Structure 1
Amino acid sequence: MDLLHDLDDLSDEEHQQHTDTQTTVEAHADADAMKMDEGSDDSDSDNSDSDNEDKGMDLDLTAVTSVHAIAKLLRSQRLADVMTKVNGFMQEARVRVPADNTGPVEDDPEYALLVNANNLMFDVDSDILLVHKFIKDKYAARFPELETLVPNALDYARAVKAIGNEMDLMKLDLKSLLPPGLVMIITVAATTTSGKPLSDKSLDAVLEACEAALSLEQTKITLLNYVESRMTFLAPNLTAILGSTTAAKIMGAAGGLTALSKIPACNLLVMGKVGKGGDTGTGLFAKGQHKHAGFIYYSEMVQNVSKEYRNKAARMISAKCCLAARIDRARETLDGNAGRIWRDEIAKKLEKAQEPPPGRGIKALPIPNDGPKKRRGGKRLRRQKEKMAVTEAWKAQNRMKFGEAEEEVIVGDTVRGLGLLGGQTGKVRMAAPNPKQKLGVAKKHHRMLSGPSGTATSGLSSSLAFTPVQGIELENPEAAAQRKAAATDDKYFGGFKRPVSK
């Protein structure tokens, strides 16, 4: 319920801020009415700033005779009071003692001044935009091309103040105000410009506006230096993480340390997102800016990280800044030790994330095995090698005799050259076959392939004898065996007679 109540308060205050800003730009109300209420949300604040810039650019200020009619902050009592107190504290240079950092932060006499100084810096940016628009509208009749050549508001004011009604820019020394390359472009453009000199009254109004813009810039620098010098005492842990400059900007955008301690990390990340004119009123469009680029994204710690890790760094820092703001709000760890510990922790994590991946280790060779190895190959491999072996005839075909045409053989559509084979007598020297490589039948198959052993022959087998006298003689292959058996029987069984059967 407390969270919902705080959100309702934030919404009401943001709406009031947006209404005040719109009234200031359109009706040129007194800048004293412009205040940054405590607890304003960053996203709505950026939107209101963008609307302010858009409406400031749409205003037609050619009919306005004095710049102080639209930018009243420079002569306001509010700015005078704040600057008097700031100068007093800076000249006093009082050393803060530990007793000054006790109790609620709102009770600190310098806390209210710091919050007002932060709020004034944003009002100064708004007035710089209005003064820039006033100068452009008035000086367009004299040098219309200068607006596009020098888009920065403060550089434009310095250039206009230096040029004035001078038609020959070669007589002026602009190198101390602008880059040398830009000075050359402006000098060339001034020779072909269609502008005409301004009247004395218009020129005086333009020069007065230039002085006002430069005075506003000096006022903002003074306020920023004061806030940075006091951030170490009011928000030591937040300053230890972000630095005094970024910490002062964030605390000013939030509306104070108390309001900053209530903002979650996701909203703190986008706080201070750069709009059309940026946070310094440069007038430059920011279409190419990062989507969530705020004060934290452009802080020194994030920018020192490589580009692919900046989003990660910004999220880590915003989370720790929320904790640091709550510690500073409760007046704990006044020496900033917690902030330094968190900063070192973030730095170590980012350094670890940016380390290159570990290299591939050198793999040791396996222990050599010098034992007996199985020889690969066999009949199949030997046959393949014999088929693809380069013979002497193949070598002779691939050779040619210098100065003599080789014989060719045409087979269908293919023509083959014979090389040295065509000039030989037909004899081919072939390599003698190696008997060890000769393919033979395995010993275990000899028995199956060989015929039966012994003298027994089949009765169907016969032989033919060719003689010049008898012609063809048919021979009984079993006749010799029968004669041999009869001779044996006569020798051993000659006196045997078969008994008479009864």
Structure 2
Amino acid sequence: MSNSELLDDLNDDFGSDVESEVEVDNVCDSFGGLERFLMEYKPILLDEINPENIGNVSQIFEHRELFENLMQETADSSSALLLSKTQPLVQQDIDSLHAFLRGVYEETFPELQSIVTSAETYARVIKILEHSQGVPDTEQLQEVVSREQMLVLSMAIQTGYKNPRSQSSDQSFALARSIEVLLELCNLQQRIKNFVASLISQTAPNLCALVGSETAAALIDTAGGIQTLSETPSCNIASMGKSRFVGHKSAVDQSGVRQKGFVFHCPLVSEQPVAVRKQALKMTCAKVSLCARVDTSKSSQDGSLGSEWRKDILHKLQNIQEPPKLSNVKALPIPEDKPKKKRAGRRFRKYKEQFQLSHARQLQNRMEFGKQESSVVDIFGEEVGMGMASTLRAPNSAPTKRTAKLRATMQRRLAAVNQDTHNFFATGYDQSNVLKAPSDESTNNTKTQDKNTKRRQTQASGT
């Protein structure tokens, strides 16, 4: 090998090393610059937005080159996690610019903000209206809004849209510049979502196995990272990505679900029947929270837990949709034609005697042929027929003594009370006779008095 060839080989080797070092330095610079940006980020305030600083009001718009470089130079899970943390910041800047646009364009078209609620769609509609000079192009509007919104928007333009020429130059410049910044931020947000979705299987394999890569990327983007998503309660996950609406009535359908976010639109929930979508949403949100915690701890890198939990949810939903099991129908026994056994005996006859009709009532229910029935008026003023009770009597129909059925103890108590009463009256009669008869002492006293009177009489006669 000649010296020239050897020098060329050495130059090639050193040149490749230099290029690789430059690429590594660029990647490190992009990664470190984005981390510093996230630490120093400050949100937009509406009172700071004015027509003069509308170009540099968004820090994300100023540093958008960092995002582009990181997405072009790296393709690993660490960059996907870092970019997913920027999604809430991008959305915050978009909301601030959207509020500024509504304040500027409220005088020109006040009904537009109630018809179009999305920030990107609102900016695109304003851009079309500004370029049309008061006569909007329906074909361009149909590409931006839905058919229902187009119908309402066309009617509102005829009634509430004012001529945009009344705006000042500062307002028109601020309007055009804010629309440009907002659309650029929406485009950047969409590119970040696609980039994270392409690498999300490395970061959250269990979450991707459960709800899919697109839904997993949207959840991680909205939460601001897999760590933040793992700390979010399962009851709040259903609200992530919920579209804005005027009232609850317009958002609730036959499924009874109001929180129609990213999880509701994933295939695991949306492919289920309407009757079980609410239960499917609750089960899926609970498992999403568990998958996020598993992926944060990196305990299952193959996504087996997510696949297993998905099968469990499908099995439970299948059991819910199954009809209830039919119980075994027991046939009735064959009826027997034999006469049934009747109770009899002394106790049963006495029991029936308590409820049987008296002989007078039996005669009252009969009528004698060819004779007028006698009747009486009861206490309620109703006429009651007596039948044969007033004319005929059964032979030897002595009135039977009917008494209430008493227990043996009660009968003994009544007998004792009757005996005491009888003894009382008997002893009281004897005492009254004794009181009426004279006592022995009184008779003795009368006898002594008679003797004394006789003695006095004899003494007086002797003298």
TM normalised by structure 1 equals 0.52
Aligned to 1:183: 150
The residue correspondences of 1:55-454 to structure 2 (distance < 5 A) are: 59-60=46-47, 63-65=50-52, 67-76=54-63, 79-87=64-72, 110-164=76-130, 166=132, 168-169=134-135, 172-173=138-139, 174-193=141-160, 195-197=162-164, 198-200=167-169, 202-252=171-221, 256-257=225-226, 259=227, 263=230, 267-270=232-235, 274=239, 279=241, 299-302=266-269, 304=272, 306=276, 309-310=279-280, 312-314=282-284, 316-318=286-288, 320-322=290-292, 324-325=294-295, 329-330=298-299, 332-334=300-302, 336-353=303-320, 355-374=322-341
Structure-2 change in CA distance of 1:383 and 1:133 (3 Å): same
Are 2:84 and 2:192, in contact at CA under 8 Å, matched by a contact in 1? yes
1:313 offset after TM fit, Å?
A: 0.8
- Equivalence for 1:472: none
Structure 1 CA distance for aligned equivalents of residues 59 and 134 of structure 2: 35
Counterpart Cα distance in 2 of 1:415 and 1:254: 87
Q: Give the direction of change, closer, same or farther, for the CA distance of 1:256–1:139 in structure 2 (3 Å limit).
A: closer
- Tell me, yes or no, if the aligned pair for 1:70 and 1:130 is still in contact at 8 Å: no
CA deviation after TM superposition for structure 1 residue 345, in Å: 1.8
> Could you say which residue in structure 1 is the equivalent of 2:38?
35
More helix, by proportion? 2
Q: Which runs of 5+ in 2 are unaligned?
A: 1-32, 252-256, 370-376, 384-393, 397-463
With over 3 angstroms needed to count, the CA separation of the structure-2 counterparts of 1:244 and 1:361, relative to structure 1, is same
- Post-superposition offset of 1:343: 1.4
Are the structure 2 counterparts of residues 260 and 125 from structure 1 closer, same or farther at C-alpha, using a change threshold of 3 Å?
A: closer
Q: Number of aligned pairs?
A: 335
For residues 8-41 of structure 1, what are the alpha-carbon distances to aligned partners after superposition, in whole Å with 9 as ceiling and x for unaligned? xxxxxxxxxxxxxxxxxxxxxx99866389xxxx
Contact 1:320 1:342 in 2 (8 A): no
Q: For 2:191 and 2:107, how far apart are their aligned partners in 1? A: 34
Matches of 1:322 and 1:387 in 2, distance apart? Answer: 93
1:127 deviates by 1.9
C-alpha displacement at 1:163, in angstroms? Answer: 0.8
Give the Cα–Cα distance (whole angstroms) in 1 for the partners of residues 147 and 103 of structure 2: 26
| SS of corresponding position for 2:217 | helix
* Structure 1: 5+ residue stretches without partners: 1-29, 38-48, 90-108, 394-409, 417-438, 442-502
- How far apart in 2 are the matches of 1:291 and 1:184? 25
C-alpha distance in 2 between matches for 1:214 and 1:195:
24
1:255, distance to aligned residue in structure 2 (A): 5.4
1:31/1:132 CA distance change after superposition, 3 Å: farther
Q: What does residue 444 of structure 1 align with?
A: none
Higher relative contact order (CA 8 A, sep 6+): 1
CA 1:147–1:383 in structure 2 vs 1: closer, same or farther (change >3 Å)?
Answer: same
- Aligned-pair distance for 1:157? 1.0
TM-score (ref. length: structure 2): 0.55
Q: Give the distance between the partners of 1:324 and 1:387, measured in 2 at CA.
A: 94
Name the CA distance, whole Å, in 1 between partners of 2:364 and 2:281: 66
Counterpart Cα distance in 1 of 2:121 and 2:186:
11
SS class of match (1:35): helix
Is contact 2:238-2:262 (8 Å) kept? yes
Question: Structure 2: how far apart are the matches of 1:362 and 1:36?
Answer: 72
**Alpha-carbon separation, structure 2, partners of 1:352 and 1:36:** 49
- Is the contact made by 1:118 and 1:252 (CA closer than 8 Å) also made in structure 2? yes
The CA distance in 1 between the partners of 2:157 and 2:367, in whole Å, is 91
